[in-house]
């Protein structure tokens, strides 16, 4: 079982360790190389997200990942997430997306939730599908349409209301 909780400065150590992982570096926008200072700054302040949570394993209270709401624009909440290698393939990612979807469904200003996922990121696509997200053929076709990294992507959407 997994729960969400707020970030804390004490999370810097395991976040540093997790973000050395090549999959997290490949599929997310974490800085490369990812230094201890990056982890300390993130654990203390986040990285400009509207909201960010730690994904924690209930059995041992170990941090296994991070999930956040990047923006809410015109009712659309855009989310991003990663799960550390030691937490994968046990339901953490899909549980975290489900919990954030439940939380965002209660926000008055949110009408839908999107996740922009690289076309080749099969694990992440399976994760949002499991929660009920579906492909939006009209969504942005890159993972960071306003940024420098233009990766072919699929927009998955969950309609709240
Ligand atoms: C994608 C990621 C979050 C999945 O987390 P997870 O905790 O392993 O996911 P879950 O255990 O909840 O599995 C959810 C679904 O994904 C599938 N899945 C997970 N890892 C997979 C893999 N490597 N290959 C194929 N399918 C995979 C599971 O089988 C499950 O599918 P099902 O519902 O059909 O059984 C994790 O692998 C990760 O952090 N990857 C690197 C960073 C990343 O890609 N972030 C997302 C950027 S858009």
Ligand 1, closest atom to CA 87? 7
139 lines ligand 1 (CB under 6 A): no
101 lines ligand 1 (CB under 6 A): no
**Closest Cα to atom 21 of ligand 1:** 123
117 lines ligand 1 (CB under 6 A): yes
Burial of 73 (0-12, 13-18, 19+ CB in 10 A): exposed
Domain that holds residue 11: 2-159
**What is d(CA 109, CA 66) in angstroms, rounded to the nearest whole number?**
23
**What is d(CA 11, CA 40) in angstroms, rounded to the nearest whole number?**
8
Alpha helices in the chain (DSSP H): 12-18, 22-27, 36-45, 92-105, 122-131
- Return the pLDDT at 142: 74
2 lines ligand 1 (CB under 6 A): no
Ligand 1 center from residue 130 Cα (angstroms): 10
Ligand 1, closest atom to CA 97? 12
Ligand 1 center from residue 36 Cα (angstroms): 26
**Closest Cα to atom 4 of ligand 1:** 93
**What is d(CA 43, CA 6) in angstroms, rounded to the nearest whole number?**
10
Number of domains in the chain: 1
pLDDT in single tens digits along all 161 residues of the chain: 999 999 999 999 999 999 999 999 999 989 999 999 999 999 999 999 999 999 999 999 999 999 999 999 999 999 999 999 999 999 999 999 999 999 999 999 999 999 999 999 999 999 999 999 999 998 877 777 556 667 889 999 999 99
**What is d(CA 149, CA 138) in angstroms, rounded to the nearest whole number?**
20
23 lines ligand 1 (CB under 6 A): yes
Whether 54 contacts 60, CB under 8 Å:
no
Ligand 1 center from residue 100 Cα (angstroms): 16
In the three-class reduction of DSSP (H, G, I as helix; E, B as strand; rest coil), residue 51 is classed as strand
Type and span of the H or E element at 1: none
Whether 77 contacts 107, CB under 8 Å:
yes
Structure tokens at 102: 């439940």
**What's 70's domain CATH number?**
3.40.630.30
Q: What angle do CA 6, 135, 117 make, to 5 degrees?
A: 50
pTM of the model: 0.96
2-20 core/surface letters (b: 16 or more CB in 10 A; e: else):
bebeebeeebbebbbbbbe
**Closest Cα to atom 14 of ligand 1:** 127
């Amino acid at each position: 079982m997994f729960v969400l909780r707020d970030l804390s400065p004490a999370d810097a150590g395991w976040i540093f360790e997790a973000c050395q992982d090549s999959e997290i570096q490949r599929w997310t926008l974490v800085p490369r190389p990812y230094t201890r200072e990056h982890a300390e700054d993130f654990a203390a302040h986040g990285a400009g997200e509207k909201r960010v949570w730690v994904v924690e394993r209930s059995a041992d209270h170990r941090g296994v990942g991070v999930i956040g709401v990047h923006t809410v624009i015109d009712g659309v909440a855009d989310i991003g997430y990663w799960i550390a290698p030691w937490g994968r393939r046990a339901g953490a990612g899909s549980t975290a997306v489900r919990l954030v979807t439940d939380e965002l469904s209660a926000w008055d200003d949110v009408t839908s939730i999107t996740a922009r996922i690289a076309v080749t990121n099969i694990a992440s696509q399976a994760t949002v599908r499991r929660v009920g997200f579906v492909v939006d053929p009209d969504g942005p076709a890159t993972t960071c349409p306003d940024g420098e990294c233009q990766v072919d992507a699929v927009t998955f959407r969950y309609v709240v209301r």
